[in-house]
Each structure stands twice: as C-alpha cells, then as structure tokens.
Amino acid sequence: MILCFDIGGTAIKVAEAYSADKVIPKGRVKTPTQSYDDFIAVLRNAIAAANVRPRVLAFSLAGVLDPDSGIATVANIPCLSGRKLQSVLESELQLPVVLANDADCFALAEATVGAGRGHDVVFGLILGTGVGGGVVVRGQLINGAGGFAGELGHGPIAQRMFDDPQITLPAFSCGCGLDGCLDAVCSARGLERLHAHLHGAALDSPAIVAGWEANEPACATTISIWLALLSGPLAAMENMLGAGIVAVGGGMSNSVRLIAALDLAVREKTLRRFARQLVVPAECPIEPGLVGAAILGLQRSGTAAA
C-alpha cells in the first residue's frame, strides 16, 4: 500500500493507494503552515491510522523542489520552505518518500488514468488560481528530481499589443516577482484583473465566462483577448513538446465551451495541424494530486501503476 498526501496551504488530503485506479481517500486535516513539528505530527497520525504499514509515502506538494539541492520552496507553508524535504521526511518518518509538485502530479494522473491515456507525451495545464503545468513522457515525469519544467505561467512573455480591439496592456506584476507573466493575466484572478482593466468593472471569473457564453459584449472582448494571450504561448509549448494531448484542469476548465475555444485558438497556431481536439478538459475521476502521488509511489515501490 502507498500512503498518499496532497499537501496544500489549506488542507492535507490523505489516501491509501493499491493501484492507480484504486486510490481510496481517507479524509483531510487542516495544514499546519507555521509549525514543522505539528506538520510532522499530522503525517505520523496518518501513518498510524493506516490499515497496513505503507511501503512508500508519496506527496503532491503545492511548491517546488530545486533539482540540484533538493530544497523545497512552499510559499503557502513556510515551515517546509528551505528544507531538503525528501531526506528530512525520510529521516523523520522512517519510510521511503517521493515528492512532486502538484501540477506534475496532476499531469501524471491525466497521463495514466485521465485524458492522456494512450499518448506518449502529455502536457497537463492548470487554469485556476494560477497557471501551472507539468509534462509526462512515456509514463514518467520529466521533473523526476524536482524542477520547473512545464511552468508555462511564469516568464515575461504575455502579449501586450492587440489590433482587434486596438489596445495596449500593461505588464501586470506577478506573484513570482516578474512582470508580464501569463499567471498574472490568464489565471482566474488574472482574468478578473484583465476584465477590470478593460472595462473598469469588477466581475469574478465565473461571471466573466458566463457573460461570454451569453454573448455579453464586454465579457466577449475580455475572453477574446484572454484566448489570444494564452493560445500563442501554449501553441509554442506544443511545438516544443509534441504533446499528443493537453489536459486542462483547475476551476476554469469547468467551462467546456471555454476549453473548446482555447483548443481552436491553439490549433490555428501550432506547426502540426490537428484534425482532432488537442486541448481537452481533464478526466481524472478523483483528486488528481492524490492519484499522481499514488502513481509516483507505485513507481518507486516497483509496482505497476496501472
């Protein structure tokens, strides 16, 4: 059995996994963000409550691991940042540990039991509070030792000048410290920022998408620009990766029409001309963070993931 943890800034979700399609949620607890000792106590309690002693502990983490040093950066959980997390957890818990970024776990889940089944290369794109991504090649994360591959949301690449309508956008500041990132203008919060800048009106992202679906002019303009902002970089990412499918998760993927529109915009700009849908909604039936962590743990233990 693999004991899986999806570590977020608000909650820690726990599951027992016996295969990629047999991941059994075991509840959730509030994340201790400031106390490392309290954080470890939560993990020990979960291990003690497990039906059998796990072979591996597998973690989906809302943060990144430096591939050279192994040091974690977890903005929402300060007690974990700055630690060589894998080795520290193995020492504290006396069990093998595997860790991956939550976007990577999402991509691995989609590649194994979701929309990416049957494709050699899968790009998992998260459009939610932020813009994140992960890459899976022949069933393996290319971020095997941690890293930043697939993070489409960061870097000063957001288009600023548009002809139709004729506008120039500012280089919006991003939480990563840079200006002009896709995360700052194409995430759910970014979409709201874009709409407010264009129209001087405060709407949340579901209302903007609903307005676009209802052909409301202001929302239609906002979504048109959002599609232009995201589709070019995503097409460039597709040209580099040669992904067979781009699986989209996060709150903005709930609009099937929006993802279909993004797909059309991307396929118009890719070098390979797809006669089928390339950008699709995610299909993993349960928590992708837990499923992705389970697959990592199964791989580590030498058990077939699917």
Task: Tell me the whole-structure pTM to 2 decimals.
Answer: 0.91
Work out the number of other CB atoms within 10 angstroms of the CB of residue 95.
15
Clarify whether residues 264 and 295 are in a common domain.
no
Query: What pLDDT, on a 0 to 100 scale, did the predictor assign at position 125?
Result: 96
Whether 306 maps to a domain, the answer reads: no
For residue 294, the enclosing domain spans 2-101+286-301
- In the chain, which ranges are continuous DSSP H helix? 36-49, 85-93, 102-113, 183-186, 188-199, 205-213, 217-241, 256-267, 288-301
Clarify whether residues 296 and 263 are in a common domain.
no
Q: What is the CATH number of the domain that holds 83?
A: 3.30.420.40
Task: State which amino acid sits at residue 252.
Answer: M
Whether 136 maps to a domain, the answer reads: yes
Clarify whether residues 224 and 252 are in a common domain.
yes
For residue 176, name the pLDDT band (cuts at 50, 70, 90): confident
Query: What pLDDT, on a 0 to 100 scale, did the predictor assign at position 21?
Result: 86
Is the model's pLDDT at 286 over the cut of 80?
A: no
Torsion 303-123-31-178 (CA) sign = positive
Is the model's pLDDT at 56 over the cut of 70?
A: yes
Separation of CA 168 from chain center: 29
For residue 304, name the pLDDT band (cuts at 50, 70, 90): low
Separation of CA 274 from chain center: 24
Instruction: For residues 204-229, give the mean pLDDT.
Output: 97
Work out the number of other CB atoms within 10 angstroms of the CB of residue 152.
22
**Mean pLDDT, the chain, as a whole number?**
93
Q: How far apart are the C-alpha atoms of 78 and 88, rounded to whole Å?
A: 15
Count: domains in the chain: 2
Query: What pLDDT, on a 0 to 100 scale, did the predictor assign at position 277?
Result: 96
Instruction: For residues 240-269, give the mean pLDDT.
Output: 96
For residue 306, name the pLDDT band (cuts at 50, 70, 90): low
* Segment among 40-44, 64-68, 96-100, 223-227 with least mean pLDDT: 64-68
